[in-house]
Amino acid sequence: MELAGKKVVVVGAARSGIAAAAFARRHGAAVTLSDRTPAEHLPGLPPDLAVSGVQLELGGHRIETFTAADLIVVSPGVPHTIEPLAAARRRGVAVIGELALAADALEAPVVAITGTNGKTTVTQMIGDMLAASGRRVFVGGNIGCPLITAADRQPAPELVVAEVSSFQLDTADCFHPRVAVLLNITPDHLDRYPDMEAYARSKARIFARQGDDDVAVLNGDDHRVRALAPVQGPLRVWFGTRPADEAGVDLQGEDLVLNGFAAPWRHLNGERFSLAGLKLLGAHNRANAAAAVLAARLAGADAAAIGQVLAQFVPLAHRLTTVAVVEGVRYVNDSKATNVDAVIQALAAFDAPVVLIAGGRDKGGGYEALRPGVAGKVKRLVVMGEAAEAIATALGPACRGGVARAGDMGEAVRLARDSARAGDVVLLAPACSSFDMFADYARRGEAFAAAVQELTR
């Protein structure tokens, strides 16, 4: 994609937008970075961005800027329906995302991971497996460094491992991963998509450009994933339930075993990878490990390196991580559980009674699916944030210990402590986004950890 001399508008001044603007400017474009947020509320803006020649339009979008552009690069968090984008499209202006910009610029093969839950864990695990095999790997995308930063990196990566979201896939028609992983599809982001079918179609776009030399890694236990598996093109490999005539990985006791491969992958049949030392909690993380093993092995990771990473990999921050044990009560931070299915999986990871802290900004889809897990496991529910009453109404009757309402995280932790006894688990698993009270899920998790530490003083 030739950028020199073009007028490029980048929409959204968060991490990926800033990276896209800097990349386009380095490659000779006249760049405007537009955001509806005023400058004083954008502390992450690099001071040298304007010095480099990027024009800043902050505090609102100017339709005239959008319609005069040659190319618009829209950040994942920006709805595609805003009027300046609609006006630009009516004028024939191309609108893409940062993922498409990166896909055009990258030369290294890409391993891409999407799904509702587990993306970051699997992305990092695959990256570690390839790095332990001696490969020069870039790990980023929807986590860490924006994917576009890999395009100018020196020395250039041999492989790129990228977490990609449905929002990114919506604006990335040219994206072509060598290995594409679809972990699961459960209700999420229904505040942005009209229905589950539209959300699922966005996830399936990860396979759209794959051909005969590529690989699709699929969850055989997820009916939506099975329905969206590519009919032709890439080699289909499965974790979970594996079709009898297709390749994949089987769980045999504590081992993952590769089976069903034909030439040129026949030599993989029978390879075993132990999960005995896996430090990640829950059956869902065994599925995540299985997906990572398949993707990493087919991307060229050594079997020994894969086994090493499985034994050493530790939970990532805010994902079922133990903050502390206070008076026999285990306090667990799963702030990244921003949808109902993630909370179902979190509850299933514990045998002990749970005091659940939930709430935040509603993402659509309802909370009724949590009732069986709450009825069987949760001794008391503590709710907070904008969705507090909706969660209390949906789940209160199923919770034997009733519902408590908290005004902030400190109060939520104190109320949970009052209901917990030695041997119990206090679990932060919000089932909501954080944006009503916190800048992101990480800040929410940090607030939980700080409140727990206060209990020890």
Say which residues have a Cβ less than 8 Å from residue 189's Cβ, sequence separation at least 6. Answer: 166, 167, 199, 363, 364
Put residue 293 in one of left, alpha, beta given phi > 0 → left and psi -120 to 50 → alpha.
alpha
Q: Tell me which residues are annotated as active site.
A: 119, 142, 189
Cβ atoms of 46 and 53 within 8 Å: the answer is: no
CA distance 131 to 308: 11
Within a 10 A sphere around the Cβ of 241, how many other Cβ atoms?
Answer: 12
CA distance 295 to 124: 12
> Which residues on neighbouring strands pair with residue 10, listed in sequence order?
33, 73
Say which residues have a Cβ less than 8 Å from residue 355's Cβ, sequence separation at least 6. Answer: 378, 379, 380, 381, 382, 401, 416, 419, 420, 424, 425, 426, 427
CA distance 277 to 287: 15
CA distance 347 to 430: 12
Cβ atoms of 356 and 374 within 8 Å: the answer is: yes
Cβ atoms of 202 and 169 within 8 Å: the answer is: yes
Q: What is the DSSP string of 111-158?
A: EEEE-SSSHHHHHHHHHHHHHHTT--EEEEESSSB-GGGGTT-SSPPS
> Which residues on neighbouring strands pair with residue 72, listed in sequence order?
9, 95
- Closest CA relative to residue 404, chosen from 418, 421, 383, 425: 383
CA distance 33 to 135: 35
